[in-house]
Structures are given as C-alpha cells and as structure tokens.
Amino acid sequence: MKTRITILLMALFVSFNFGFAQQDEECMNNLSIFDSYVKSKKYDDAYGPWKIVREKCPKFNRAIYVHGEKILKHKIENSAGADQVAHIKDLLKLYDQSREHFSSKYDLAEIMVDKANLVYKYQKELNISIEDEYKMFDDAFKQDKEHFTNAKGLYTYFSLAVDLFDAGKMSAQDMFNKYDDIIEVIEGIINGNTKSLNKLVEKEAAGGTLTKKEGRLKKYYESSIKAFEEQVVPSMDKKLGDRATCEVLIPLYEKNFEDNKSNTVWLQRAMNRMYAKGCKEDPLFLKLVEQKNSIQPTADTAFYLYLLTDEKKYFDQTITLETDPLKKAKLYKKLAGDLKSKGSYSRARQYYMESLKLNPSDGSPYLSIAAMYASSANRCGDTTFNKRAVFWLAASEAEKAGRVDSRLRKVAAQTAASYRAKAPSKTDIFNCTCSGEVIKIGCWIGRSVTVP
C-alpha cells in the first residue's frame, strides 16, 4: 500500500512539472513574440500574445508590465468610447498587477501616481470629479511621500489643489500648505541629485574621465534638476499667480498669527512666502522673523534679519547657523545677489565664489560675476581699449558657467558671444599692435586679461 501511494505521488509530481513546463514553454514563446512586436512598435500585433502571457503566467517576466503599459497606451490612444474606457481601466489594473507580482521593482507611490496621472489625462472619459482626482494624488503623497518623485505628478497634485481652492473647496491656508509640502519634496529631490552631480563634476574638474554609466547618470541628474527648477516650480508659481500676492498674504497671516506664533513650521513658511512675494517691507514680515528667531533661530531667520537691519551680526549668524553645504551655497548666493543689487560687487563676487566651492555644478554664479564685470567696464578701464577689454574677462567668466553646468551651456555661450562682440575688434588689436599683451583691470575687479 505504501509503495502504491509513493508511485502515485511520483506520477502526480511528474505530471505537474510536465504541465508547468508546457505552460512555461507557451509563455516563453508568446513572450518572445510580443517582445519582438513591441520593439518594432507593432502594438496591435503584440496585444494577443501579450494577453496570453499576462493571463497564464503573470509572474513570468517583468516585460509583461513594462511592454504591457506601451501596448495598452497604444490601444487607448487609438480607440474611443466604451472601448477606450475599457483599455484605460485595464491599464489601471495592470499597474496594480505590476506591483502585486514584482513588488521589489515598483514603489507604492510610483504605481499610485501612474494611476493618478492616467486618470487625470482621461478625466472626461472616466467622468472623474476634481475631488476624486486630487484624492488619488493625495493618497500617494500621504502613503509614500519618499517615492513620490514624479515631476508631472507633483505639478498636477498642486494644480488640483489650486482648482479646489478656486471652487471654494479648499482654504487658502491649506492651498499654501500644500504648495510648501510639495516644494519641500522637490527641494529634497534637487538636493539629492545635486550632491550626486557634484561628485561627478569634481571628478571631471580634477582631470578624471567619467565611465559610460557615470556619463549617463550625469545627464540624468542634470535633466532632472533642470526639469524641476525650470519647469515644475515655475509652473507651480504661475498656477498660484495672484492667489498669493501681498494683498492676500498679509491679512491671512495677520489673522492666523496668534494661533500659530509658537508653530515654527508655520512661521518659517509664512516668512518664506512673504519674502518670495516681495512683502518684506510690511511690518508683519519683521514680526514673523523676530518671532521665529526668538524661539528657533536658523540661518533663514538670520538672513532675513540681515536684510532688514543690514547688521553684520546677523550676516555672521547666517553663515554660522547653516551647516548643510547645498543650503549654505544657496545662502551665499542669496547674500551675493543682495550685495550685487546694492552695487557692492567685490563682496558679492566673494560670496558667489564661496557658493561655487560648495556647489560646483551650479554655474549661475559665474554668469552673475560676468554681468558685474560687464557693467563695470566703463569705470574699471583706464583707456577706451582697456574698458572694452573688460568684456573679454566677462566673456571668459560666462563660458565657465557652460563648462561646469550643461543646463546653462546655451545661455552661457550666447552671453559670452554678446560680451565678445563688445570687446576690441581684430582691427583694434591690429592698430594697437598689442596682441599677447596682458592688461591689468583696475578698481574692484583686480584681474588681468590677455589680448588675443
């Protein structure tokens, strides 16, 4: 009896493995077929074999979900009515399945945001309300903020908050809070990418050669930073628009001050927003800064007090309190910008250079220094030729921006070209017979330039 049971179990085991092997072979063949079709962008041909693998072997290969997204997006874009809605819902289901079967490859927020972006794109077809759309992004943000890094998703999330405010379904304070919440996430993404980028820039500056992988990573970090700094954040500010003017902010913060005067986060955000919107002349701004500084002094509050009072002690406190290199670089740049606006060019250059030391992949300080050189040409040159020679120095400084920061390569090249056009011409150089001579530029500049 025992022998017969053993033989039966062995037969079942062999039968099971044979069936599983057959299924594996069928899935492998169909995987190969739809993979080939997808690579040649024949998505309609890929749909049939892809569907077989998805249904029979959902854990077989991640290509089911990577390629499946492309196939279903094609179906959605090339259909209408009930068929289109069915494909949209199927893609939403596919997103869930991708995390179900390959959880290590898909973060929760990544899937939730992909679904939210899809629903937002086809909101009319799905007949989704603004509240339900917003909730999808909000749930992703609350459940997995760490991995909510999708640029489009972060902008749409805020855009929907503004829409809710306009519809009278969200308070102004909640809308501003959401802006600050999202900006903090964006700043975290930018800072992380900037730190990684700086290591690669420093390697190149030291004469090293980047590997292919490092080269790809450098481009990724640069494009990501550019997308957030030049597209997402400006778009958020544009969307916010007149909803955050001084006329709106001052009464709001006056009204809420007493209830929040011990809330350091509220105070920080309130003074940051008032500064950003040019409301620093209002007495409320000083009131917010002094209150924040009295309970939690930070580099930001010290910086604001320096701007308000011009007292050196607050300037020194600003530098001392800030320990994060990137934040300190931004503060140096802010301080330099303030000094530049006051015409204190020598000190401004000093702090622009300090900023560059801490954040070498940000080329914007070079452009600011170049602009100060150009604007000082008339007063820092002792002859007409030497005054125009300052523009060579300005052009050289502008070109440095493009070398360290590919995001600025185009504007740096254009700026340098405009400066060179104002420098002495070839005829001027020929007439002065001074090619190769070194010209010392006086006043605050204190630099030399060689005549080409």
Choose the final residue of a domain: 204, 225, 240: 240
User: Does this model's pTM top 0.85?
Assistant: no
In a domain, 277, yes or no: no
Token digits for 143?
Answer: 């459940």
pLDDT for the residue numbered 338: 87
Choose the final residue of a domain: 193, 211, 240: 240
Token digits for 144?
Answer: 């997995």
Structural domain total, the chain:
3
Residues 134 and 210 in one domain: yes
Q: 402 pLDDT band (50/70/90 cuts)? A: very high
Residues 347 and 428 in one domain: yes
pLDDT for the residue numbered 11: 38
Q: 117 pLDDT band (50/70/90 cuts)? A: very high
In a domain, 258, yes or no: no
In a domain, 372, yes or no: yes
- The residue with greater pLDDT, 8 or 137, is 137
pLDDT at 21 over 60: no
- Measured CA to CA, the distance from residue 226 to residue 218 in angstroms comes to 12
The tens digit of pLDDT for each residue in 218-253 reads 999 999 999 999 999 999 999 999 899 999 999 999
Q: Look up tokens 């997808």; give the residue.
A: 38
Give residue 75's domain range: 24-106
- In this structure, what DSSP letter does residue 244 have? G
- Measured CA to CA, the distance from residue 451 to residue 435 in angstroms comes to 5
pLDDT at 424 over 80: yes
- In this structure, what DSSP letter does residue 296 have? S
Residues 138 and 100 in one domain: no
Choose the final residue of a domain: 222, 240, 258: 240
In the predicted model, what is the mean pLDDT of residues 312-341? Answer: 91
